[in-house]
Amino acid sequence: MRKNFIQIGLIILTLAVLAGASIFFYQKMQERPGSETAAPEQATAAPTSAEKQPAAEASPPAPATPAAQAPQPTAETAAPAQVEPAAPAAEPAAGPAAEEELAGGYETLDAPQPTQDPDKIEVIEFFWYGCPHCYDFEPILESWVKKLPANVDFIRQPAAFSDLWAKHAKAFYVAQALGVLDDKVHADFFDTLQNKRQKLETEEELAAFFTAHGVKEADFHEAYNSFLVDTKVRQAAAMPARYGVTGVPVLIVNGKYKVDGRSAGSHEKMIEVTNQLIKKEAAAKK
């Protein structure tokens, strides 16, 4: 009997131990799942807060309206930038433009050229006998040359842009070498080419023209084939580039200013411009 009580006691004790152990493990099991779940909740909460923060950040960028507004400052900055260049550009242009308006129109040479006499004001005319514009300009120019003051040197400069121009330039230098340039030869050479339509290109054609103006034929041939005349013709081919001359007629004032019909507007205006530039240079020398 006693033995049975002991067995029953052991069974109850075993059951109690097992029950206690079950309760212990049950509690442990309840605690562990709770912590792991909390972490995901925090993780979920963290994402939630993270989502809110980006949302807050998104709203500043979303004020990608600020980004949309960024072009506006740029446009405003660009507008001043466009206005500022325009203003400076207009101011520099205004100075020369004012001078051109006063003088009637001219261009300032990029590289001023030396003059033959620094004490005087030099005016060079670039021309070609075969040019109808030069022919039309000649009476106006000739009348003006006769009235020039003593402080102005006037120089006729034939341009030689081609072989034909060079042949006519050679005729000019032959007349100059023979001392007959102003004895109607200059005006008649224009007239013979422009109105009579004679070529005047070969040595024989030119000899006939000069002998008709009182020059001995031997003297003509000597001048025509001289080293001096050949040298001047070669110089005539190089001269236009020095002054930026690409067409005729053109007047160069004191190696600094170029006046032509395009810039001045007319042959008469060319003379007006040149007169004002002469006064300007004369004042600078005082």
* pLDDT at position 67: 36
Placement of tokens 């067995």 in the chain: 7
Dump pLDDT digits (tens) for 261-286: 999 999 999 999 999 999 999 999 88
- Give dist(CA 249, CA 140) in Å, integer: 12
* pLDDT at position 248: 98
* Percent of the chain at pLDDT exceeding 90: 62
* pLDDT at position 111: 96
Output the CA–CA distances (angstroms, integers) from residue 19 to 7, 15, 54, 58, 167, in the order listed: 18, 6, 52, 57, 135
User: 140 and 267 in contact (C-beta within 8 Å)?
Assistant: yes
Mean pLDDT of the chain: 77
- The whole-number average pLDDT for the span 97-102 is 44
* pLDDT at position 18: 61
Amino acid at 186: H
* pLDDT at position 286: 82
- Give dist(CA 219, CA 34) in Å, integer: 130
Cβ neighbors of 129 (< 8 A, separation 6 or more) are 158, 168, 171, 172, 189, 190, 193, 200
* pLDDT at position 209: 98
- The whole-number average pLDDT for the span 140-160 is 97
* Count of Cβ atoms closer than 10 Å to residue 227 Cβ: 7
- The whole-number average pLDDT for the span 193-211 is 96
Alpha helices in 59-202 (DSSP H): 64-69, 71-103, 132-145, 163-178, 186-194
Burial 146-179 (b: 16+ CB within 10 A, else e): eeeeeebbeeebbbbbeeebbbbbbbbbbbbbbe
- Give dist(CA 199, CA 213) in Å, integer: 17
Dump pLDDT digits (tens) for 68-92: 333 333 322 222 233 333 333 333 3
User: 123 and 154 in contact (C-beta within 8 Å)?
Assistant: yes
pLDDT band at 100 (very low <50, low <70, confident <90, very high): very low
Q: Name the fold adopted by 105-285.
A: Glutaredoxin (3.40.30)
- Coil vs helix vs strand at 272: helix
- Residue 112 gets which letter from DSSP? -
Dump pLDDT digits (tens) for 101-138: 444 599 999 999 999 999 999 999 999 999 999 999 99
Output the CA–CA distances (angstroms, integers) from residue 80 to 18, 74, 75, 111, in the order listed: 90, 10, 9, 35
* pLDDT at position 46: 39
Residue ranges of the domains in the chain? Answer: 70-99, 105-285
Dump pLDDT digits (tens) for 29-70: 444 433 332 333 434 343 333 333 333 333 333 333 333 333
Answer yes or no: pTM beyond 0.75.
no
- Give dist(CA 193, CA 189) in Å, integer: 6
- Give 123's strand partners: 154, 253
